[in-house]
Amino acid sequence: QVELVESGGGSVQAGGSLRLSCTTSAYTYENNCIGWFRQAPGKEREGVAAIYTNGPATYYADSVKGRFAISRDNAKNAVHLQMNSLKPEDTAMYYCAANLGPAYCSGGPRSMHTIWGQGTQVTVSS
């Protein structure tokens, strides 16, 4: 069973920073578009950022451009999301996702074969 292990959530004040990490198996990590989604109470799940593990392609939602940065660690089969200048509206459950499909990392549609992590809570207070 494919597993995505997330870590790094927590509570911060507005303007603060958090770093989320997602690790998986080498099999899942290789040649994959992996990213982060978030879902706030009463809202739909939305894409935040994604990165292709074997190339330069990345995707960012407009709402996080300039504040969040996604990166990868090929030696550890990990994808990280550095979140800076956090706002209360960033409060949500954040989910790591893999098998997004190569198109998604270039701003295209998400694959129907996406797999999900369990989620990690991020809370930003004003």
Nearest to 36 by CA among 14, 18, 61, 73: 61
Which pLDDT score, from 0 to 100, does residue 26 have? 95
3-state secondary structure of 88: helix
Which pLDDT score, from 0 to 100, does residue 99 have? 95
The most distant pair of C-alpha atoms in the chain lies apart, rounded to whole Å, by: 41
Q: pLDDT band at residue 32, thresholds of 50, 70 and 90?
A: very high
Question: Which segment of 6-15, 28-37, 83-92, 100-109 scores lowest on mean pLDDT?
Answer: 100-109
Nearest to 86 by CA among 10, 27, 28, 32: 10
Query: In the 8-state DSSP scheme, what is residue 26?
Result: H
Paired sense of beta strands 5-7 and 18-23, if any: antiparallel
The residue type found at 31 is N
pLDDT tens profile 52-94: 999 888 999 999 999 999 999 999 999 999 999 999 999 999 9
pLDDT greater than 90 at residue 107: no
Which pLDDT score, from 0 to 100, does residue 56 have? 87
Cα atoms in the Cβ-side hemisphere of radius 13 Å centred on 42? 2
> What count of residues does the chain have?
126
Report the C-alpha gap between 18 and 90 in whole angstroms: 11
| Averaged confidence pLDDT in the chain | 95
Report the C-alpha gap between 59 and 68 in whole angstroms: 11
In contact, 11 and 18? CB cutoff 8 Å? no
